[in-house]
Structure 1
């Protein structure tokens, strides 16, 4: 199942979309569990439980709020120069993250709550300092609000 999140674009038109489709699973209580890593959405991570509402005009389900944060983090990495998606994924998987390259030129990263935040910071900053990538954090590890 999919649910959608409205996105706010900056003055440069980023992100390149006004909404993002998230992979979710419907729960017995009518809420949804996020199962796919958000690529552009801030404030939502894998395993978060979100409320959804179906709109009459387009028949899609839209996320209205996070009901329960999972403690997972979300990071987006943009590889530079000769750095490949596979290299970024391997480095992040080595510390316990789940990562995947996207068609949008970035790597979407799920950071489980048990990943050492210090190790994550070291890997991310080492890549940034070496000019291999830049990154941003959509949800800090351990965030519960």
Structure 2
């Protein structure tokens, strides 16, 4: 078993971790929006739909890592709990739940953007680069 990982695989997995974090924040925001009385249900639906679209990108990136001979990063149970608790706490302490949810999502988006910027120089695989650049927006 090889202990050293290819820089490209590490870079792609770093993007995957940040992508999973954003997806979890979107799911938590969706759930919080559904329960909040001061948030339009359509906002929660849009968060869930966006998470589903990102899920396809994560699946595709994971497939690239497998094709490159390694195991793709997966969502962390601990991060899931942390992300959900953070979104719920911020929303519960805010007088404007929708703004708090958007703020939590913006933070996760910034983390994904930073992971992408760090990873792109190491990503040589054409398909992976295409997916990651599409995530950049």
Please say whether Structure 1 and Structure 2 have the same fold, judged by a TM-score greater than 0.5: no
- TM-score scaled by structure 1? 0.27
Q: Which has the higher contact order (CA 8 A, sep 6+)?
A: 2
- TM-score scaled by structure 2? 0.28
Which structure has greater helix proportion? 2
